[in-house]
Structure 1
Amino acid sequence: MASIKIYIKNMVCDRCKRVVAEELQRLGYTVLQVGLGEAELASDKDQLNMEEVREVLQSNGFELLDDRKTQLIEKVKLAIIELVHRTGEQELHVNTSDYIAEKVGLDYNYISSLFSSFEGTTIEKYLILQRIERVKELLVYDELSLKEIAYELGYSSVAHLSSQFKKVTGLTPSHFKQVKTDKRTTLDKVQG
């Protein structure tokens, strides 16, 4: 039997993968694999009821991506999220453009231009926003010092982290820790 990959927006965590797998199985599809932003089904295009899949995904806060360029943008976002939120500290010290080009399998200049035209912001700004969300998360957990957070996220210094944090949030990291309301943004809502 043939298989088909579908691409899904707003899939940013393991819980998302589990929900998508369960919903697709509930619709009667054989799920071969689910990754961030995609699922592979044991089916061919003719057997797949795209409207049914679209509806069940939307009811769970996801979006089925049909267009190749939109799928590429989602892959870039997922690569950045994976880099910032899911990897060990060594990977955050890699060249971001090389990392993204390798993950997506295309020339970085093309990816960067396409991303900017679709998203209205640069990959670099999107990366900064994701890093700041990760800093917020680590500040809320209160297990690491600011120096340890700066190192873990690949900042050159605590001053660089603090400056970028204040520019994005309007608060210093220490003031952020004292504020008790609306501290974080869900990863799928981070936008430039």
Structure 2
Amino acid sequence: MVCDRCKRVVAEELDKLGYTVLQVGLGEADIASPGGEVDLEQIREVMQANGFELLDDRKTKLIEQVKLAIIALVHQGEEAALHINTSDYIAEKVGVDYHYLSTLFSSFEGITIEKYLILQRIERVKELLVYNELSLKEIAYMLGYSSVAHLSNQFKKVTGLTPSHFKQLKTEKRKTIDKVQE
């Protein structure tokens, strides 16, 4: 889950199943069952019917935590964190050694954490360019790029377009956050 609407859908569906929803956050839900029993298969089916995946093994949860940390970093205004070492930030957020996370992420996702971060940043740049409220220099600083040239080069490498050309297209060329690596 990556948005408030997603959290609301999860809470509503769990409520329909008769669970008491204590809290729904990004990528997790705390619930209580009146009888004390939780039917994970029933929850899995309902979540899958709504486009969600139930994560119940440790490695999958760690990968999801890495993704959520990156999404928070890039999309949800943890601006100050963009100017620190990304590997330290992720390791601190997830509470696991970065080298282990990096190896695990690459083996499961088929791309590196760094590549995933770059793809998320480029999607955020696209969003900000579409809104047309900030200059490229402001966007570069906001997202932790060392310069406008660095942002422009990375943008072109990923999209095949310069930021200014993308801005001129006036068509929606963005992806939803959860589809960025596809």
Quick check: TM above 0.5?
yes
TM-score range, shorter chain: over 0.9
Worse-matched range after superposition: 21-30 or 177-186? 177-186
RMSD of aligned residue pairs (Cα, Å): 1.6
Task: Determine the structure 1 residue equivalent to 2:5.
Answer: 15
Say which of 150, 170, 173 aligns to 1:180.
170
The residue identity in structure 1 corresponding to 2:90 is I
The residue identity in structure 1 corresponding to 2:138 is E
Structure 2 residue 75 is matched with structure 1 residue 85 = yes
Structure 2 residue 94 is matched with structure 1 residue 104 = yes
Structure 2 residue 56 is matched with structure 1 residue 60 = no
Q: Which runs of 5+ in 1 are unaligned?
A: 1-10
Q: Which runs of 5+ in 2 are unaligned?
A: none
Partner of 2:54, secondary structure, is strand
Using the aligned pairs only, state the percent identity: 80
The TM-score, its normalising length taken from structure 2, stands at 0.95
Cα deviation, residue 59, structure 1: 1.7
Structure 2 residue 170 is matched with structure 1 residue 171 = no
Q: Which has the higher contact order (CA 8 A, sep 6+)?
A: 1
Report the CA distance shift for 1:185/1:28 in structure 2 as closer, same or farther (over 3 A): same
Q: Deviations over 1:63-111 (max 9, x none)?
A: 1112211111011001100100002421211211111111111111111
Structure 1 runs, 4 residues or longer, greater than 6 Å off: none
Q: What is the correspondence of 1:1-192 to structure 2 with a 5 Å cutoff?
A: 11-43=1-33, 47-191=37-181
Cα deviation, residue 129, structure 1: 0.2
Counterparts of 2:79 and 2:30, CA distance in 1: 30
Counterparts of 1:45 and 1:185, CA distance in 2: 41
The number of equivalent residue pairs is 182
Report the CA distance shift for 1:14/1:145 in structure 2 as closer, same or farther (over 3 A): same
Q: Deviations over 1:124-172 (max 9, x none)?
A: 0000000000000000000000000000000000000000000000000
